[in-house]
Amino acid sequence: MYSDILTRLHYKKPNLIVLLCIGLMIAVVANILIGGYSLPLDKILAILLAKIGLTTSIDFAQHEAGILLSIRLPRLVLGIFVGAALGISGAVLQALFRNPLAEPGLIGVSSGAALFAVGYIVMGAGFAVSFMLPLIAFIGGICATLLIYALSRNAVGDKVGSMLLIGIAINAISLAGIGFFQFISDDTQLRLVTFWMMGGLGSATWKSILPTLLFIMIGLFALLRCAVPLNAYLLGVAEAGHLGIDTKKLTKIIILCVALIVGSAVAVSGIISFVGLIVPHVVRQFSGPDHRIVIPASALLGAIFTLIADLVARTVVIPAELPIGLVCSAVGGPFFLWLLLEKNRGAGYGL
């Protein structure tokens, strides 16, 4: 009888991860190939080979190399990292709060970052000093998180539950602040603010995304290591403690890592909502709740989802661009509803 369990657990569905990796590769190729300016595959290869010092017989213009190396590639890399950051944050926050509705937007990280950024656009020097904006947004995200953490430390009883409620309150306050800044802004600022809030990867340059990539990479690695303790966390906080997990330390690590990666993501790309909520759910429908799979799979699917959304955003209304946040919600919402209803019809809805 053990052999039965053995085979079932031994087969750890690595194929989901493999499938997602293939999916990501397809999304990457599509994002490089498709765009307002058409770059055929042979030229792309020639440009890339030329970059590492190999010359080929295929000719390409200097501006074509520029489009690929300075516009599409940084944007692609940023999309992968931001998507992975959002997907993974949703997955770990849902586990930490033991609540399937948790996502970075809900605990105030995104809106705290947005409040600072919007305040900077309206009150500060304007959009011109663009490299300051990511930094300001990141500080906002960290501030919101630390505030939530500090306030919930004094809470009696269910600490994580009150953290969620405090997060919602911080969220509301931040949104009110953003509303106030929008109210006092002039027309140009309002347009900038609105567009930034809807999110986008368009402003990516290698220089502007470098700190974001670094922070997200650190956060992702730290969170990947939390997979096994997070599984126990789903049993309950006390139960996880009985199994030898330092639950306070785990909470601290996760909150700080999420603030780090979401703050960095919001800083360069604005608020891209819905990815953090939907991606872990979709992953769990296929993989079950084991975080050793859910966390890496959420990172991969988050990246794929963001790349596809960005592809749609920048191709449907050429030469203009839709805000990526709009595309995410418009595509993600109905898909998510369909998934829930479809699952409901089967053997009972489970998260």
Partner 1 sequence: MVYKCEKISFYAGQKALVDDISMSVIPGKLSVILGPNGAGKSTLLKMLSGDIKPDSGNVKIDGESMQKLDRKDLAKIRAVLPQSSNVTFNFSASDIVKMGRLPYNECDRISMPIVGKAMSLTKTSDLQSRQFTTLSGGEKQRVQFARVLAQIWPELTSRRTKYLLLDEPTGALDPLYQMEILTIARWLAEEKGYGVLAILHDLNQAMAYADYIYLLKQGRLVREGTPHTVLTRSSIRELWGIDAEIVHHTTASVPFILPCSGKSFSPF
Return residues touching partner 1 (CB under 8 A).
Answer: 1-2, 4-6, 8-10, 95, 98-100, 228, 231-232, 234-236, 238-239, 241-246, 284, 288-290, 347-348, 350-351
Q: Is 170 exposed, middle or buried (0-12, 13-18, 19+ CB in 10 A)?
A: buried
Q: How far is the CB of 12 from partner 1 (least distance, A)?
A: 9
Q: Is 55 exposed, middle or buried (0-12, 13-18, 19+ CB in 10 A)?
A: exposed
Smallest CA-to-CA distance from 34 within 60, 77, 72, 79 is with 72
Q: Which is nearer to partner 1, 320 or 347 (CB)?
A: 347
Q: How far is the CB of 346 from partner 1 (least distance, A)?
A: 12
Q: Which is nearer to partner 1, 40 or 288 (CB)?
A: 288
Q: Which is nearer to partner 1, 3 or 38 (CB)?
A: 3
Smallest CA-to-CA distance from 261 within 293, 315, 224 is with 224
Distance separating alpha carbons of residues 35 and 47, to the nearest angstrom: 16
**Which uninterrupted H or E stretch holds 16?**
helix 14-33
Q: Which is nearer to partner 1, 26 or 243 (CB)?
A: 243
Q: Which is nearer to partner 1, 9 or 52 (CB)?
A: 9
Q: Which is nearer to partner 1, 8 or 63 (CB)?
A: 8
DSSP 186-242: -HHHHHHHHHHHH--STT--HHHHHHHHHHHHHHHHHHHTTHHHHHHHTT-HHHHHH
Q: Which is nearer to partner 1, 39 or 240 (CB)?
A: 240
Q: Kindly list the distances between the CA atom of residue 183 and the CA atoms of 37, 114, 189, 290, in Å, as whole numbers in the listed order.
A: 38, 15, 10, 46
For residue 318, give both structure tokens.
């050429």
Q: How far is the CB of 4 from partner 1 (least distance, A)?
A: 8
Q: How far is the CB of 245 from partner 1 (least distance, A)?
A: 7
Q: How far is the CB of 142 from partner 1 (least distance, A)?
A: 29
DSSP 47-79: HHHHHTT---S----HHHHHIIIIIIHHHHHHH
Contacts 24+ apart (CB under 8 A), 331-338: 332/274, 332/275, 332/278, 332/305, 333/274, 335/278, 336/274, 336/277, 336/278, 336/281, 336/282
For residue 23, give both structure tokens.
């999916």
Q: Which is nearer to partner 1, 126 or 288 (CB)?
A: 288
Q: Kindly list the distances between the CA atom of residue 2 and the CA atoms of 14, 140, 236, 290, in Å, as whole numbers in the listed order.
A: 21, 52, 27, 20
Distance separating alpha carbons of residues 185 and 121, to the nearest angstrom: 9
Q: How far is the CB of 278 from partner 1 (least distance, A)?
A: 16
Q: How far is the CB of 235 from partner 1 (least distance, A)?
A: 6
Q: How far is the CB of 99 from partner 1 (least distance, A)?
A: 8
Q: Which is nearer to partner 1, 128 or 347 (CB)?
A: 347
Q: How far is the CB of 232 from partner 1 (least distance, A)?
A: 5
